[in-house]
Chains A and B, each alone.
Chain A
Amino acid sequence: MTGAENKAMQMIEIHNLKKYFGENEVLKDIHFNVEKSEVVAIIGPSGSGKSTLLRCVNHLEEPTSGEIYIEGVLLNDTSLGKRSFQRHLNRIRTKVGMVFQQFNLFPHMTVLENVMEAPLNVLKEAKEDAERKARELLDKVGIAEKAASYPGTLSGGQKQRVAIARALAMNPDIMLFDEATSALDPELVGEVLKVMENLAEEGMTMLVVTHEMGFAERVADRVVFMADGYIVEEGKPAEMFRNPQHERTKKFLADVAHDDV
């Protein structure tokens, strides 16, 4: 297979990715691909670099070295000038939706305005089209009745579902979830996971950093275990959870299982 064909098939392709924060090497030579419609769960202890890896995929973190291709296009293209690189980033980011642990809804806008903001001002959609799509998406995540509310009045689970709708309003090809349920009260986790699960069933390409092992096992096509800046092992969820190969993975899964009791 030639390199070009390979790139055309992969939604995300990462080569030799390294990331330093000062002296601290948080990502150590990561190689990693995600195919179309694939759901990949990244698990691992805190400080393993999994969130940093996810944030590199839409350049919220700048890789120290290595290449990241999004749908075959080099994301961290250092040959571009400052301005054209920003335009290049904005173009790619419209195709890569991101959901944050802390929701990051815009508090000065209503739920509907939150969802319409980027379609109106980035994609320059007509107001009626943006509003129709926003209402459909809010309906899809089960929160249509809150369209006129401000984020401050919503529960964490509702906020996160709005945040998902806001990301989907850009018609992304890839969705990134950065511990999307970690800031939620336990009883609100399910409603957000349900929305994510539906999205996976619809064929969305998803990269999900999560502590929800049940979700990873049930929904993911592949589970990646990270520790100390490395991908320690990856595989089908069933194999990974029942028969982990590495000591580090076994220990982590045992610790997590212990926490659940």
Chain B
Amino acid sequence: MLDWGIIVHYFPFLVQGALLTLKISVIALLFGFIFGLLAALLKLSPNVVLRWIGGFYVWIIRSTPLLVQLFLIYFGLPQVGIDLGPFMSGVLALAINTGAYNAETIRGGIISVPSGQMEAARSLGMGSALAMRRIILPQAIRMAIPALGNNFVILIKDTSLVSTITLVELTLTAQRLIGSTYKPFEMYLMAAFLYAILTTTTSVLLSKLETKIAVERR
């Protein structure tokens, strides 16, 4: 049923596409983590304006589709003179999107650190920023790792949407090869297989990290 000759021949092309998917994912993941951390801190700020800004960001991103956010950045912004090009637009849209979900995850982690930790830090003369950085966040992030990992996996899969803005990543590579080979089943199966490799590797690495931290603290 499957044309194995086609699979063997075209697999390297799809791996090429997967490498771009990986590159987009890693950059979006890093910025998405930073956006999420900043938004989480904004949402927990004692300042009502900062809290509102953080809350608005999380609300607007989580209540609109990623595809629309992507089109707003790629097709919409050039209309007001901001042309980021497909790669920057794609990475930015993904980072902003995953950042909103990371914000809620990290905020949950911060809240779950017992209040005695902040009190102990403050009683030692640590300022709130120092205590957050040295005492609260390391514990909060560790607690948030499983949920963050979930967000990372969703991010990797969501990168397929940037195929709509001419980025020849894994999904668009498959689509283009289908145009010349007329073998959609083989091509999409290979693409699915490569996505599974990327996401599973991410999950395994994160659970290794989680175990390592747990062992260290024993």
Which A residues are within 8 Å of any B CB, using their own CB?
58, 60, 86-87, 89-91, 93-94, 96-98, 100, 102, 104-108, 117-118, 121-123, 150, 152-153, 163, 166-167, 170
Contacts and interface: CB of A to CB of B under 8 A. Distances in A.
Contacts of B130: 121-122
Interface string B114-133: 10110111111111101000
Interface string B53-77: 0000000000000000000000000
Given A90-B126, A93-B124, A106 B117 contact: yes
B138 A58 contact: no
18 contacts: A60-B123, A89-B122, A90-B126, A90-B127, A93-B123, A93-B124, A93-B125, A94-B124, A98-B119, A100-B120, A102-B116, A104-B116, A107-B139, A108-B139, A117-B134, A121-B134, A122-B130, A167-B123
Contacts of A100: 116, 119-120
Contact of B125 (A91, A104, A163): A91
**The 8 A-B residue pairs with the shortest CB-CB distance in the complex, in nearest-first order:** A104-B120, A94-B125, A118-B124, A98-B123, A104-B116, A93-B125, A122-B125, A90-B125
Contacts of B217: 107-108, 150, 152
B135 interface: yes
Interface of B: 114, 116-117, 119-128, 130, 134-135, 138-139, 142, 216-218
Nearest to A60: B119
Contact of A170 (B114, B122, B124): B124
Nearest to B130: A121
B139 A60 contact: no
Nearest to A163: B120
A167 B119 contact: no
A210 to B, nearest CB: 18
Given A96-B123, A104-B120, 8 more contacts: A90-B126, A93-B125, A98-B120, A106-B121, A108-B142, A122-B124, A152-B217, A167-B123
Contacts of B126: 90, 118, 121-122
A104 B117 contact: yes
A106 B124 contact: no
A170 B125 contact: yes
Contacts of A152: 217-218
A95 to B, nearest CB: 8
Contact of A166 (B124, B127, B135, B216): B124
A106 to B, nearest CB: 6
Nearest to B135: A106
Nearest to B124: A118
A23 B122 CA distance: 27
Given A60-B123, A121-B134, A86 B117 contact: no
A170 B122 CA distance: 13
A105 B134 CA distance: 13
Nearest to A58: B123
Contacts of B218: 150, 152-153
Given A121-B130, A150-B216, A150-B217, A104 B124 contact: no
A191 to B, nearest CB: 21
A111 to B, nearest CB: 12
Contacts of A91: 125
A104 B122 CA distance: 12
B70 to A, nearest CB: 38
